[in-house]
Structure 1
């Protein structure tokens, strides 16, 4: 597949998550973790809701507003971390941060499927947008590390 076709495919995945976000909303559980974060540079805001039971993320939802990168990243992240242990989710977040810095990520080494998240790898070419892409991930890290 040519670079242009791959780039177009990635853009369509990002726009699909932006227009049809997965896991948008709030959790009703009393034992949920909730964190609010924002990117003051561009105005992106997210409220992340996580349900963690026995060190496993059993559910994840988000609300907020922002650019297509931040909202699609939140959608992709909530899909990817459901069912993972907190350790696995943090490992995935680390690899995502590395990807945002332009480093190659070996999914075999990660041992987890990145799925649609790979569509965001082109963001590293636009340094001003990296904070948009990582906002939801930083919220997840902060939430599980301070529970």
Structure 2
């Protein structure tokens, strides 16, 4: 597949998650809620996590922002459900490395749609948009385990 075709495919995946977000909404009192924002561009994300027996049982998000920020939140909530906290944190580290343009070893974890965001690394001003939901998830997992 040519680079142009791959780029077009990735854009379509990002726009699909933006227009048809997965896991948009809130959770009950059994969950932890983390609010984060990116004052640079106005993105605001609220992540809701329900972790039980060290497994992310449920993940949802609410918020407003650019297509990259909201698509990333949709992809992240979809990817971490059913994963252990350790796996979710490992995915977050791989994603962060990918956003910084580092070579990532995806052998252990299938990133699925998340790979569509790898082009964001070329636009430093947009990296915070892509990582906002992931940073909220990390904070939420830390809060839930306390």
In the TM superposition, what are the counterparts of 1:74-89 in structure 2 within 5 Å? 74-89=73-88
User: What displacement does 1:66 show?
Assistant: 0.2
Q: Which residue of 2 aligns with 1:21?
A: 21
Residues in 1 aligned to 2:60 and 2:143: alpha-carbon distance in whole angstroms = 18
Q: Structure 1 stretches (4+) deviating beyond 4 angstroms?
A: none
| Residue segments in structure 1 that go unaligned for 5+ positions in a row | none
Residues in 1 aligned to 2:64 and 2:126: alpha-carbon distance in whole angstroms = 15
Instruction: Report if aligned partners of 2:47, 2:133 keep a CA contact under 8 Å in 1.
Output: yes
Deviations 1:7-59 (A, max 9, x none): 0000000000000000000112x210101000000000011000000111000
Q: Which residue of 2 aligns with 1:142?
A: 139
Q: Which residue of 1 aligns with 2:126?
A: 129
TM-score (norm 1): 0.96
User: What displacement does 1:104 show?
Assistant: 1.8
Report how many residues are paired.
144
Deviations 1:81-140 (A, max 9, x none): 0000111100000000000001122211xx111000000000000000000000000000
Residues in 1 aligned to 2:104 and 2:22: alpha-carbon distance in whole angstroms = 24
TM-score (norm 2): 0.97
Q: Which residue of 2 aligns with 1:45?
A: 44
Q: The residue matched to 1:62 in structure 2 has which SS?
A: strand
Residues in 2 aligned to 1:99 and 1:57: alpha-carbon distance in whole angstroms = 23
User: What displacement does 1:143 show?
Assistant: 0.8
Q: Which residue of 2 aligns with 1:106?
A: 105
Residues in 1 aligned to 2:31 and 2:143: alpha-carbon distance in whole angstroms = 13
Instruction: Report if aligned partners of 2:47, 2:60 keep a CA contact under 8 Å in 1.
Output: yes
Q: Does 1:72 align with 2:71?
A: yes
